[in-house]
Amino acid sequence: MARETETEAAPESAASEASQGPSPRVSWGRNRLDGSGGTPARQGERPAALASCTGGWRTDHPTIEPRAIPDVAASLRVIASRVLAISAVAGAMGCAVSPGRAASPEAGACGWPVAPVVLRQTADTVYQSWTYDADRLPASADPSRLPALAAFLDTVRGRVGALDARALLRRQVAFYASRPDSDSQGEAANGRLVLGGSAGALRPASCLEALLVEEQAARFPMTSHPTEFHALVMERGEAGARQVRVYFAGSGAPWPPKADPLLERVAADRREGWRAVAHLHNHPFLFANGDIAGANAPSLSDVQFWRFLRESYGIESARVTNGFATFQAPAAAFSRLRARGDR
């Protein structure tokens, strides 16, 4: 199924990025476990599989069988088969280009209820969104039903053993605690807060979080080409009639793309009654240099950016996922976590 595109892709340059408005003065990403430090940020749905259209299309059309004149009957059968073939192709094309719809997942299964709207795409960078009724997406996910995520987690499991988010956090805390510099000590402190549960909750990844990792893992081999994406989750309406809008930005770089194109839309949505309920990004696994990573503790730079989002866009929570587990912190806890520049 083709994506619905809202704006035409245009070549990107440093000048065009600079013209998109001010970026928060933060560096993005977490410090690496090899001590090299985080990379400062400059800050599709894959084309969906063609949905089956047979639900509204008869597949049992009667065959034309005039018998009086054999050669005429043969000709009419050829014509009829061609008409049916053309009709089937037209029906499939109509299904493929129907805007804003995705292949419907099985009842209760984790899958996008709508196709993404591509907001901007340049080279390997994509900004896109999904808008849907909240009750159309289940709360939980079975990662084995999401092929790219399942393959990614199978590879991770083969490298680190059982997928244990707390074990990964303990490993990261021990590494940072062994280093004397203040930044490393701050990273270790954040890991302890996550393990202790005093700054938020560590839980299994939700359906939405799993779908976003699936989106990125389908675009890049995440174990050999680790990348970070980020997303902003908006909501509007009351329980029972709630809408969700998810803005996503991903690229082939190790860090997330510049946030400004998403934040401009967040600001516009807030003026129309939407709430910014969460910022979400992933922490990838880094195997090439021996840094396993994949831990859910927010980095000093993450927390700095979260505080900016809280003050400027009223963000209500923030999440860090690795594809199977997610740490979620309410905005009130951002001040308890350590940020870059804290004394």
Q: How many domains, in total, are found in the chain?
A: 2
- Quick one: 235 and 210 in the same domain? yes
Contact 290, 160 (CB under 8 A): no
- Quick one: 181 and 212 in the same domain? yes
Task: Note the pLDDT of residue 18.
Answer: 34
- Give the residue from 144, 108, 117, 136 showing the smallest Cα distance to 8: 117
CA distance 232 to 201: 19
- Quick one: 119 and 184 in the same domain? yes
Residue 187 in any domain: the answer is yes
Residue 279 in any domain: the answer is yes
Tell me: the pLDDT tens digits for 40-62? Answer: 333 333 333 323 333 333 333 33
Contact 101, 136 (CB under 8 A): no
Task: Note the pLDDT of residue 20.
Answer: 38
- Quick one: 200 and 83 in the same domain? no
Last residue of a domain, one of 39, 74, 97: 97
CA distance 338 to 328: 15
Last residue of a domain, one of 63, 78, 97: 97
3-state secondary structure of 288: coil
Residue 20 in any domain: the answer is no
Task: Note the pLDDT of residue 124.
Answer: 93
CA distance 264 to 5: 18
Last residue of a domain, one of 39, 69, 97: 97
Kind plus residue range of the DSSP H or E element containing 230: strand 230-236
> What is the residue whose two structure tokens read 């009130």?
332
Task: Note the pLDDT of residue 73.
Answer: 39
- Quick one: 125 and 264 in the same domain? yes
- Quick one: 258 and 228 in the same domain? yes
Please calculate the CA angle 197-201-205 and round it to the nearest 5 degrees: 145
Residue 68 in any domain: the answer is yes
Full residue range of the structural domain in which residue 215 is found: 106-333
Tell me: the pLDDT tens digits for 217-249? Answer: 999 998 889 999 999 999 999 877 899 999 999
Task: Note the pLDDT of residue 27.
Answer: 39
pLDDT at 68 exceeding the cut of 80: no
Tell me: the pLDDT tens digits for 134-147? Answer: 999 999 999 999 99
- Quick one: 267 and 320 in the same domain? yes
Residue 18 in any domain: the answer is no
pLDDT at 281 exceeding the cut of 80: yes
Tell me: the pLDDT tens digits for 132-186? Answer: 999 999 999 999 999 999 999 999 999 989 999 999 999 999 989 999 999 999 9
- Quick one: 122 and 163 in the same domain? yes
Q: How confident is the model at residue 280 (pLDDT cuts 50, 70, 90)?
A: very high
pLDDT at 313 exceeding the cut of 90: yes
Beta strands in 70-171 (DSSP E): 117-122, 125-133
Contact 235, 244 (CB under 8 A): yes
Residue 30 in any domain: the answer is no
Residue 314 in any domain: the answer is yes
pLDDT at 36 exceeding the cut of 80: no
